[in-house]
Amino acid sequence: MDAKLPDWDARVAAVVRAIPRGSVLSYGEVARRAGRPGHARQVARALAASADRDLPWYRVLRADGRPGLAPASDAWRTQCRRLAEEGVVMRAGRVRMQRRPAQDLDELLWAPDRT
């Protein structure tokens, strides 16, 4: 019904804050946990829009394990540094993360959101 979900940003923030120290999540995974499978881009936008400094946004990476920011950019370096501080190991500019064990294609296509 109401597709506006004014608390979307808040939800994303909550999910991100819940990421344990030294661990990471992909944008897509965050979107899923926030109740909107497939909305990875909106997660990115939410993070970019958020002015919350305490938000561990750096624990959110792309599905391929690379930071979503422009390589060598200011924020990019910050992200790598903070991750390193938490013991997250990066290899060739990307974090080793296990790719999601492809669930049923059906579910992927229908992607019902659970509010």
Partner DNA sequence: GCGCTGACGCGAT
Partner DNA sequence: CATCGCGCCAGCG
Q: Give the binding site for DNA (CB under 7 A).
A: 3, 8, 26-29, 38-45, 47-49, 57-58, 60, 62-64, 68-70, 75, 79, 92, 99-100, 102
Of 51 and 87, nearer to DNA (C-beta) is 51
Rounded least distance, CB 38 to DNA, Å:
6
Of 21 and 48, nearer to DNA (C-beta) is 48
Rounded least distance, CB 5 to DNA, Å:
8
Task: Report the b/e string of 19-58 with b at 16+ CB within 10 A.
Answer: beeeebbbbbbbbbbbebbebbebbbebbeeeeeeebbbb
Rounded least distance, CB 45 to DNA, Å:
6
Rounded least distance, CB 20 to DNA, Å:
18
Of 21 and 51, nearer to DNA (C-beta) is 51
